[in-house]
Structure formats: C-alpha cells, structure tokens
Amino acid sequence: MNVPVHALKGIGARAEEQMAAMGIYTIKDLLFYFPFRYEDFSVRRLEEVQHDERVTLQGKVHSQPELRFFGKKKSRLTVRVLVDGFLVQAVFFNQPFLKRQIELGQTLLFHGKFDRNRLMINGAIVKTSASEEGALEPVYPLKGDVKLVSLRKWIAQAYEDYGQEIEELLPEPLLGKYKLLPRQQACYYLHYPQNMDMFHQAKRRMVYEELLLFQLKMQYFRKRTRESTDGITKVWAEDELNKFLKDLPFELTEAQHRVLKEILTDLESPYRMNRLLQGDVGSGKTVIAAVALYAAVLAGYQGALMVPTEILAEQHAESLHDLFSSFSVEIGHLSGSSKAKERRETLAKLEAGEIDIITGTHALIQEGVDFYNLGLVITDEQHRFGVAQRRVLRDKGMKPDVLFMTATPIPRTLAITAYGDMDVSTIDEMPKGRKPIETYWAKQDTLPRVLAFIEKQTAKGNQAYVICPLIEESDMLDVQNAIDLHAHIQAVLPNLNIGLMHGRLHADEKDEIMQQFASGEVDVLVSTTVVEVGVNVPNATVMVIYDANRFGLAQLHQLRGRVGRGSDQAYCILLADPKTDAGKERMGIMTETNDGFELSQRDLELRGPGDFFGVKQSGLPLMKVADIIEDYRTLEAARQDAVKLIASNAFWESEVYAGLRRALEEEGVFSTEKID
Ligand code: ADP
Ligand code: MG
C-alpha cells in the first residue's frame, strides 16, 4: 500500500501528476482519500422532499423529450414525468443524446435539485436503476483538472487490487468496546456505502481512529515533556502555607481547592509543570495564583506573574500587596512607565533575590531581566506560553514551572485538542453568594432610559461602566466615540462624576482614572475596550455595552465579567441593533447564559472552529474525517483511552497494540528530538 500510485493498472505519468497535485502519492493515500458527500440515488417520495434538495425521484415518462440548443453546444432538454401522481418537469442540461434514449412510458430514476414551487427537477441526471455499488455514489473533493469519474475509477481500482492489505490498527478490546467496524470494511463503506446507516458506521470507526491517534500523540508528547524535563522539586513548610490560606478573607470554593491541589502537586514533583488553569471570569484564579506563588517563595524560589496589559499588571501587584500584607513577601512591579532609576533598582533587587514575586507584562522575561532563582512563572489572560519564551528562560539556565491561566472560555473540546499536551485544571464553580448577572438586550435609542437606570444605581452607591462602540478600522474613531459619549453622558448626568478612558491616554493618566474609579471617586467610567481583561472593581454593578453586536461573544462575556464581582446584583445592558441573524443570535445567547463555557460552545457552533476566538493562534490541527465540534464525545472518549494506553505497559510491549504503535511511528511521533 505504501507504493506509488503508478503501481496501479491504467495509471500513467499524466494521472500520477494530477494526483500528486492533490496530495495523493501512494496507493494508501488513494484508499484513504474519502468522499465529502454522496450522490444519493435512493428513491424518495415526493411529499417528503424539501425545496432545493438534491434527490432522486422515480417516475414514468409522460411526454416526448423536448430539446433546445443555445449557441453551438449548449442545450436544454425537458421531459414531463409522472411521480407519485404529480407531473414533474425534469430539466437536463447539455445531454442532448438523452433525446434518443428517453422513451414514453419508461420508468426511470431522475436525480437533481428539486424545485417545489414549480415542480421541477433541475440539472437532472437520469438512471435506469440504482448503481451497482449501491444507492450512494461517492463525490470526492477535486483539485486541478482531475475528473470525478477518473478519481472514482482510480480509487475503485486501488481498492480492488490493494483493499485486502488494509490492516487493522485498533486492538480488539477497543473495537469491542465501541462496536467499531473493522478497518478494511470501514474504508470500503466510506467509499461505497449502501445506505446512510452504513456510512455512519464506517465514519464512526474512522473518526475514532483519527482522534485516538491524535490523542495518543498528544498524550505521548505530554508524557515525554514531563519525563524528559527536569523541573525543580519544591519543598515548603505546609503550616506556613496554611496560615496564608486561613488569612484569606473568604473560604476557597471546592473547585479552587481541587485545582490548587493539582498545582501544588506539580510544584512538589520533580517534573516541570506545564499546566493550563481555566476558569470563567470571576471564578477566582488570582488567589490560586497567589497561593502557588507563595508556595514557590516558601520553597526558596522567586515567582513571576505576567499579564498582557500594564493596567492589569498594576492591579495584580496591588492585589498581591493586599493578600500578602501580613506576610513577609517582597513584591515588585516592572512597568513600561517606571522611571529609569526605579527600574534599575527593581532589576538589581530581582537579580539579587530581594524581590520574591514580580508582576509585569510579557517583557518581564525578556529584555535583560535577570532573576536570582526563578521557580514559577504564571501568565494570566495570555496566549499560551510559547516555545520561544521557554527557550529564553532555558538559555538563562532556568527551568521554572509554568502555569497558564485563562478566562477565555475555551470549550472543553477545543481545550483538549489545542492543549492536549498540557495538563488542564478547571475551576467550574463560582464563589458562593454571587448573583448571576442580569443581562438585557435593548435598542440603541433606549440610551436615555439606560442612563436613568445608571443614575438610580449610583444613587445606591454603585458604579457603572459604559463601553463604547468598537470600530475596528481605526482606533482613532474609537477614541472620538468615547470622547463624544463621555461628553453626552456628563451633560445628561451633571451631578455624577463621569470618567473617560481610552487607549490614547498616557499610562499615568490611565492609572489615575483607574484609581479614581476603583476608589469610587468616579461614578461612571466611559471606556473603550481597554478595561476588557481582568480589571476588578467589585463596587461596579452596571456594564453598558454600546454597539454590542460589533463584539464577539468571547469579548462580550469578558466585558460582562467586569461586573458582578461583589455581592450586589449586577446588570449588563447590551445596546445593539444587529442586522444579521448571527448578530441577533449572539445577543440572544448573551441574555440566556452567564456560563462562559456554555457560551463559548455555542459561539463555536455559530462560527465554526476556524473563526473561533483565539483558535488560529492555538494551532488546532486539521482533521481528515473527524469534526472536533460534532465529534466531541468521541474526542473525549479517545482522550481517556489515550491517557490509559500511554500510561500502561501493555501499550508499549504487547503485540495487541503493535498496529497503533506502528501508525504513530509512521507519523514520526517517536523521534527522539528534545522538546523542552
Ligand atoms: P478571575 O478568575 O476572573 O481572575 P478573580 O481572581 O479576579 O477572578 O476573583 C474575582 C473576585 O472574587 C475577587 O474580588 C476575589 O477576591 C473574589 N474571590 C475569589 N475567590 C473567592 C471565594 N472563594 N469566595 C469569595 N470571593 C472570592
Ligand atoms: Mg483574573
């Protein structure tokens, strides 16, 4: 099977070239080049056929065919056919020869697109009976000048000559567990199913195989990363850490306890942590980060907390100061706007080990920043900690544990696909006493009423955000919008203190406004999306998002997450007049759920994985037969199976698993290249 396609009868240099252009080089490639749909030649009843559906109808020829030519070669042939008691007009394009073949009174199959309104079947193909392979004929994706009939012929030939060589990869226990078809049969039925049920069976088998191989690969990488990288075994005084936990102003939720245990176990282990901590906005990730950092500090190491924006970095520095106020932990902050002298001092302290925990943006680990002994890096709301950053640290002789925190709600399916080589911890529970945010969708011209509502809330001592239209083409326009809206709101609500924040402000100015908002001096903050990630002002109860339909669901959810962080009831008001169905649906979804994971799953279904927020960067692999959205149950099952297999001795030794091992080997998985 691993022989070039020209080994097949009737395939010459020309055909070989055509196939190469489609990425088909070997007989095996040809056999596993699957159809993307089938021409369905199973006969349907007229009354159940939808408008515009491609179907096959059976009918008796009721009129002489009429043929008309357009220009030299184009022609149109029509014939009336009696189908289930109705007269249907069948229309054929460019098949003039049918004039002599179709006879009055004959019963034939007509395949084409059905027009319910005009009782027509368009672009028809005629058949005397179902084809020999069955009622469904494969339609393959084509490239270049390859013809469907040729490809069908080549694949049929390949199957005839080499089909018996298709070997089973899956071990008996797994085949039995899921009642999967044997590989050879599944391959055959994917090309030539006799009915849709058979197709589903065949596809189910191939999808599982593909996902299992994929997950085995990920699990193998994960195991190898763990075992080939010597991390730092951290030892700390348990009671010191417990003191810190007792000192917290709240009880950790059960989910927080669980993920904390997972993280601390990693820190203690000789392996290097490579873990993703996901939890919806407001689920309390920061405090988990603080505990982990403290454990590292108690063990005698430094920790770094990296975030995407300066505002967030400062806020984290402050949160840490608060949390550690009665503990002797030195917290430093590196910011792009720090004065040169200040910066030099901080860097010197960091290098001397006088700073225990440092916060800052991603620049933290680059640009000549040296640590005394960095033991833990946590990145918050950040893309995954990439190979490049890891290398920077390794070159500095450091092998810290790495924890990556995200509130970008990634549906579980995507997480286990994109981050399959990482360990994943999930906080799936909100702190007690949180009231779900009430979300409303209103027309933009209701702004006056919304402002009246804001006035009421501020009278109760609460605060509000108003997020401005997002205009992607120009952030200058964003700024202008924010300025205008700010002026408008200040005029309508003259007794309130309205703050303004946008990306064009100087870092100092931003800080000042943020401070004023956090302290309650500013009642309403009009802002562009700079407040999107992480900002924590628990007293704010209203989030108004202007032109909300211009945002994606993930971003709307992030913005909404800025309120509802205290014990008061919070509200999110989406002002939007969406024109598209998808836009309306997005607004609807926002009002229906507060759960980031559910929301992201629906977002994914709405948009497909290619468009999904952040997925492009995450490098999701392309699947041949599987669809990670539709097949997510199988993906989960395959993952569990893969985890067990990779950890078992049998997988590595037993003959039963030789097929799987060989398949992985063929993909180059077991190459010995080092990956840390
Ligand atoms: P996120 O996961 O979005 O980063 P934060 O860590 O900012 O969430 O936490 C949101 C708010 O919830 C903070 O004010 C934090 O102090 C508070 N919080 C965290 N954990 C708990 C808890 N177990 N019980 C009550 N409040 C909590
Ligand atoms: Mg956070």
How many other C-beta atoms can be found within 10 angstroms of the C-beta atom of residue 245? 14
DSSP string, 8-32: STT--HHHHHHHHHTT--BHHHHHT
Domain final residue pick, 593, 617, 646? 593
Q: Is the pLDDT of residue 385 over 60?
A: no
48 plus 10 within the same structural domain: no
Give tens-digit pLDDT for 44-74: 899 889 998 888 899 999 999 999 998 777 8
Nearest-CA residue for ligand 1 atom 25 is 431
pLDDT at site 479: 63
Residue 291 sits at φ, ψ, to 5 deg, of -65, -45
Q: How far is CA 351 from CA 222, 377, 402, in A?
A: 32, 16, 20
Domain final residue pick, 396, 427, 458? 427
Sorted by sequence, the CB contacts under 8 Å of residue 391 that are 6+ apart come out as none
Residue 641 CA to ligand 2 centre (angstroms): 33
| Mean pLDDT across 631-657 | 91
Nearest-CA residue for ligand 1 atom 4 is 285
Higher pLDDT, 123 or 411: 123
Range with lowest mean pLDDT among 75-79, 266-270, 384-388: 384-388
Give tens-digit pLDDT for 319-345: 899 999 999 999 999 877 778 888 889
Give tens-digit pLDDT for 346-382: 999 999 999 999 998 877 776 678 899 999 999 887 6
Ligand nearest to the CA of 380: 2
pLDDT at site 391: 66
Q: Is the pLDDT of residue 133 over 70?
A: no
pLDDT at site 312: 79
Domain final residue pick, 127, 151, 179? 127
Residue 431 CA to ligand 1 centre (angstroms): 7
| Mean pLDDT across 238-248 | 95
416 plus 554 within the same structural domain: no
pLDDT at site 457: 96
Q: How far is CA 346 from CA 147, 301, 578, in A?
A: 68, 17, 49
| Mean pLDDT across 278-288 | 89
247 plus 375 within the same structural domain: yes
Atom number in ligand 1 closest to CA 252? 23
Cβ(407) – ligand 1 distance below 6 Å: yes
Ligand nearest to the CA of 539: 1
Residue 303 CA to ligand 1 centre (angstroms): 20
Sorted by sequence, the CB contacts under 8 Å of residue 528 that are 6+ apart come out as 467, 468, 470, 475, 478, 479, 481, 482, 501, 502, 503
252 plus 354 within the same structural domain: yes
CATH number at residue 537: 3.40.50.300
Q: Is the pLDDT of residue 470 over 80?
A: no
Residue 532 CA to ligand 2 centre (angstroms): 11
Within-domain flag for 467: yes
Supply the mean pLDDT for the chain.
Answer: 86
Q: How far is CA 603 from CA 209, 593, 606, in A?
A: 27, 12, 5
H or E, element range at 200: helix 196-228
421 plus 516 within the same structural domain: no
Give tens-digit pLDDT for 551-602: 888 888 888 988 988 888 999 999 999 988 888 999 999 999 988 888 877 8
Distance CA 397, CA 325 (A): 32
Atom number in ligand 1 closest to CA 283? 2
Within-domain flag for 187: no
350 plus 267 within the same structural domain: yes
Within-domain flag for 390: yes
92 plus 69 within the same structural domain: yes
Report CA Rg, the chain: 32
Contact by Cβ (8 Å): 281, 239: no
pLDDT at site 197: 87
Within-domain flag for 656: no
Ligand nearest to the CA of 320: 1
Distance CA 211, CA 416 (A): 11
33 plus 83 within the same structural domain: no
pLDDT at site 614: 44
Cβ(281) – ligand 1 distance below 6 Å: yes
293 plus 389 within the same structural domain: yes
Residue 344 CA to ligand 2 centre (angstroms): 28
Give tens-digit pLDDT for 6-42: 888 888 899 999 999 888 999 999 999 999 888 877 7
pLDDT at site 617: 40
Within-domain flag for 197: no
Residue 418 CA to ligand 2 centre (angstroms): 21
311 plus 421 within the same structural domain: yes
Within-domain flag for 447: yes
CATH number at residue 111: 2.40.50.140
Q: How many domains does the chain have?
A: 4
Range with lowest mean pLDDT among 188-202, 388-402, 539-553: 388-402
Ligand nearest to the CA of 257: 1
Within-domain flag for 104: yes
Within-domain flag for 476: yes
The rounded percent of the chain whose pLDDT value lies above 70 is: 89
Atom number in ligand 1 closest to CA 289? 6
Range of the domain at 155: 1-40+140-162
DSSP string, 622-645: PPSS--TTTTHHHHHHHHHHHHHH
Question: Of 276, 286, 562, which is best to mutate to test ligand 1, by the most ligand atoms within 8 angstroms of its C-beta?
Answer: 286
336 plus 267 within the same structural domain: yes
Distance CA 41, CA 112 (A): 10
Cβ(284) – ligand 1 distance below 6 Å: yes
59 plus 146 within the same structural domain: no
Question: Of 247, 248, 250, 404, which is best to mutate to test ligand 1, by the most ligand atoms within 8 angstroms of its C-beta?
Answer: 250
Residue identified by tokens 């179907």 is 55
Give tens-digit pLDDT for 161-193: 898 889 999 999 999 999 999 999 999 899 988
In this structure, what token pair is assigned to residue 491? 């005029």
Q: Is the pLDDT of residue 612 over 90?
A: no
pLDDT band at 532 (very low <50, low <70, confident <90, very high): low
Give tens-digit pLDDT for 88-114: 999 998 888 888 889 999 998 898 899
Model pTM score: 0.68
